[in-house]
Structure 1
Amino acid sequence: MKLSILATLLTSAAAFAPSKVAQTSTALNAEGELLEVKEKVPCFGATPLGGEPVFIGENYWDKLTTEYGSEATGTFLRAAELKHGRSAMLAVTGFAFHKLGLTLNNISPHEYLSITNNVKFADLAAMSPVEAIKHVPAEGMAQMFAAIALVEIYELTHKDGKLAYDETVAPGLQPGGLTGDLGWNPLNVKVTDRRRLSELQNGRAAMFAISAWVAAETIPGSVPIPLPW
């Protein structure tokens, strides 16, 4: 399972590329002084509604990318959303498989998830998804964390698919260095803006879905939200 999670992260990792370099212009203030004015940083991933893109949170985006930060800040924020979306899609898939009975006790040649902790796959399958994850031993959680950490370390230390051993600062720690794109595309899928947007939209839907499913599983009556009318 850990290997499949790692493979899924890697296969989706080529869907995001850094945006263009920010531009600046100059203007005169009331006293005739020449000031540098940052141009608005475009946001990729605005939700298309009714044929026109709708940018929710545009004011905050502008502050974070022009007032408090730069276009590299926007690249990092979008990459963070992309990664959260990928994690949510994995969570939704695992949650749905558990609910549908497609659990490892039916396909794994091994009876135990952990012999030392006496945890069987069948025992986990009999629980709810939330309870099952609570019973995964610490060693299993550490293995999943290590798989994810390897992907993150790879992005931090590699540039254009190669180890940046000659860089004084790791590529991932440079402005705009973290984009979510590992440059790993073995199927040579053509990465278009449409496909990038589709992954973002599916990730957003998955974040809503897994939040609702976990809430419904742990707090009876919380979903759908009770309305006064």
Structure 2
Amino acid sequence: MLFKLTFCLLATASAFVVPPVPNTGLSTTEMHAETTEKYNVFEDSKFVGNSDFRGKRFDFDPLNLAAAYPPFVPFFREAELRHGRTAMLAVLGFVATDFMRLPGEMYSFDSIPKTIDIHDALLKTGPMYQLLLWIGLWDVLVTAPSIKALGEGFREPGDFGWRWFAPESKEGFDVKRDAELKNGRLAMIAVGGIATQSIVTGHGFPYV
């Protein structure tokens, strides 16, 4: 599939680029103890997303990572948004390629009948290596600087300044942010289910 490599590369890029830890003047042990006692990400107004699909409060951090590593919370949210956005594109790509393909014999239904086989087939013919190149360039030119800026407090997680249709009020904007997180989380589960069902059943959409 076309988006499988994209998903893996973005996950790898997000995992290996981390923001610097601010110099607080405290030792690691002292900072850990202080922040663990004081910081509660679910009470931080800068972050949304601690509600379930019914709109009820749902504080989910079973490993207590936010309280243990407060300086890294913006990076955690950045990684979640990147994975969610990639998964939403992956779901769209899985479904769309069951009905339409790019022009060219190598992309045709005769050459690749099932979407799940696209990834391996295009590795043999070359396009997946082009995808690797362009994603690698994106991560070098855009991802790395944006994560650095995030760690220095110059940008918010997931914010690339594309706000053409964003609500003007903070309340409205937070609603959209929350919706994006929920859709991204659902898509991350969905793309795993789609891939599994495609392999098990050998069928395209609706994968039964």
* Deviation sequence 1:131-180 (CA, Å, 0-9, x none): 12210136422322333334433143259xxxxxxxxxx43565797822
Equivalent residue for 2:189, pick from 185, 205, 208: 208
CA distance in 2, matches of 1:47, 1:53: 4
Contact 1:171 / 1:177 at 8 angstroms: preserved in 2? yes
- Matched position secondary structure for 1:196: helix
Give the % identical residues. 26
Structure number with the higher helix fraction is 2
Size of the aligned set, in residue pairs, is: 163
Alignment-derived partner of residue 161 in structure 2: 183
**Superposed displacement of residue 211, structure 1:** 0.9
Aligned residue identity for 2:66: T
- Give ranges in structure 1 of 5+ residues lacking alignment: 6-34, 113-118, 160-169, 222-229
C-alpha separation between the residues in 2 aligned to 1:97 and 1:49?
Answer: 26
Change (3 A) 1:217 1:188: closer
Match of 1:130 among 116, 126, 132: 116
Q: 2:145 aligns with which of 129, 149, 157?
A: 157
| Residue type at the aligned position of 1:154 | V
CA distance in 2, matches of 1:41, 1:120: 46
Q: 1:53 aligns with which of 50, 53, 57?
A: 57
Q: For 2:41 and 2:107, locate their aligned partners in 1 and report how far apart those are by CA, in whole Å.
A: 52
1: CA distance, partners of 2:62 / 2:186: 23
Contact 1:156–1:178 (CA under 8 A) maintained in structure 2: no
Match of 1:102 in 2: 100
1:40 equivalent in structure 2: 40
1:134–1:52: structure 2 CA closer, same or farther, 3 Å change rule?
Answer: same
Shift, 1:217, TM fit: 1.3
Return the TM-score normalized by structure 1. 0.58
* Runs of 4+ more than 4 Å apart: 172-178
Larger fraction in strand: 1
Q: Distance in 1 between matches of 2:78 and 2:130?
A: 24
Residues in 1 aligned to 2:190 and 2:146: alpha-carbon distance in whole angstroms: 33
Distance, in Å, in 2 between the alignment partners of 1:102 and 1:190 is: 34
Unaligned runs of 5+ in 2: 7-32, 203-208
Q: How far is 1:129 from its partner?
A: 1.0
Structure of higher CA gyration radius: 1
Distance 1:49 1:188, change over 3 A: closer
TM-score, normalised via structure 2 length: 0.63
Aligned-residue CA RMSD in angstroms? 3.5
- 140-149 or 73-82, larger mean C-alpha shift: 140-149
